[in-house]
Amino acid sequence: MVRRSVRRYCHGSLRSDVRAAELRKILVELGPAYVKIAQAVSSRPDLIPPSYLDELSLLQDRITPFSTEVALNTIEQELGLPIDQLFSEISPEPIAAASLGQVYQARLRRSGQVVAVKVQRPGVRAAISLDILILRFLAGLIKRAGKFNTDLQAVLDEWASSLFREMDYRKEAKNGLTLLQWKDLID
């Protein structure tokens, strides 16, 4: 599919809105690193035409979820307990799905508190690591060709560092708890 779409895209045989939709599909096929780049670009209406902006904006929150069975198994493996010991209920489908993971609504068995349970896509770290390696190689080629005034490898390294911080769900949970403690101090 990707090869056919790229060929049609490059030969200009598609309307702008159709090309934009094809590009979005290609980026999803390429994987989460490319989706994250597209998400960043979609926030810059000064850089891309409206039809592309509309399509790439769909990548912010309309990514196909992965299997709930896989997600529930991941939760059990990560937390070391069966789902029914952790939660009295959990949504049968994700309430949100994105490039790095998806979110389920659950109720904690012990406290009854409703929580969001974020589950990372299987293999996402390895896929992004490989994609970053490929992108760094391409950035090096561009640099050697002298066609760009910016150090793309340095920009990519900074972006990758930020992306790996975003994938640290334990730190995100810890920050969320800290925020709740601050809220309690203010109230």
**Strand bridging mode 96-97 / 101-108:** antiparallel
In the block, residue with structure tokens 């904006």: 57
Enter the pTM of the model.
0.78
* Region of residue 4 (left: phi > 0; alpha: psi -120 to 50; beta: else): alpha
> Is the domain of 31 the same as that of 76?
no
Confidence check: pLDDT of 11 > 60: no
Domains in the chain, number: 3
> Is the domain of 71 the same as that of 110?
yes
> Is the domain of 38 the same as that of 88?
no
Helices and strands, number each (H, E), in the chain: 9, 4
> Is the domain of 47 the same as that of 30?
yes
> Is the domain of 128 the same as that of 117?
no
Predicted local confidence at residue 7, as pLDDT: 59
Task: Give the tokens for residue 98.
Answer: 């994105």
> Is the domain of 143 the same as that of 101?
no
Tell me the three state secondary structure of residue 65.
Answer: coil
Predicted local confidence at residue 164, as pLDDT: 95
Predicted local confidence at residue 1, as pLDDT: 59
Confidence check: pLDDT of 47 > 70: yes
What pLDDT, in 10s, does the model give residues 126-152?
A: 999 999 999 999 999 988 888 778 888
* Residue where one domain finishes, among candidates 80, 100, 121: 121
Predicted local confidence at residue 48, as pLDDT: 87
> Is the domain of 108 the same as that of 134?
no
Q: How high is the mean pLDDT of the chain?
A: 89
Predicted local confidence at residue 145, as pLDDT: 87
Range of the domain at 31: 2-60
> Is the domain of 113 the same as that of 147?
no
What pLDDT, in 10s, does the model give residues 57-80?
A: 888 877 899 999 999 999 999 999
Predicted local confidence at residue 144, as pLDDT: 87
> Is the domain of 88 the same as that of 132?
no
Q: Measure the CA–CA gap between 91 and 71, rounded to whole angstroms.
A: 12
Over residues 12-39, the mean pLDDT reads 87
Convert 134-167 to b/e letters by CB count within 10 Å (16 or more is b).
Answer: ebeeebeeeeeeeeeeeebbeebeebbeebeeeb
What pLDDT, in 10s, does the model give residues 108-125?
A: 999 999 999 999 999 999
Cβ(131)–Cβ(139) below 8 Å: no
Cβ(21)–Cβ(38) below 8 Å: no
> Is the domain of 184 the same as that of 140?
yes
> Is the domain of 56 the same as that of 70?
no
